Amino acid sequence: MWVAWLAAAAVSLPLAVRRRWPLPALAVAVTAAAVATATGVAGIGVLFMTWTPIASMLYSAAAATGRVMSAVTLSGCSRPGSGSP
């Protein structure tokens, strides 16, 4: 049970610093959400809630950087879940 709380903190705590450091906060949150999903800590019923904070961090990262970096960040975030090689 405590592992789920740790995973939730790892995914949502970077929200506090997303305005100052948008790309590192996004990287930490995506990594934590991916690890929580891959290890089964985030059960099937809470997968949506695990990935919800990523949307606001993705928006902050896109707003803080240029078009090219925004496209690179978006492709990096969508690549692991795309299922294509």
Nearest to 78 by CA among 65, 62, 63, 66: 62
Does 66 fall in a domain?
yes
Residues sharing a CB contact under 8 Å with residue 76, sequence separation 6 or more, in sequence order: none
Supply the pLDDT for residue 83.
42
Range of the domain at 70: 2-78
Does 70 fall in a domain?
yes
Helix or strand run (H / E) with residue 58 = helix 47-64
Does 83 fall in a domain?
no
pTM over 0.75: no
Does 85 fall in a domain?
no
Domain tally, the chain: 1
Higher-confidence residue of 34 and 83: namely 34
Q: What is the pLDDT of residues 29-74, one digit of tens each?
A: 989 888 888 888 877 777 778 888 888 888 888 888 878 877 776 7
**Torsions phi, psi of 83, nearest 5?**
85, -5
Nearest to 37 by CA among 22, 49, 25: 49
Higher-confidence residue of 77 and 24: namely 24
Higher-confidence residue of 80 and 52: namely 52
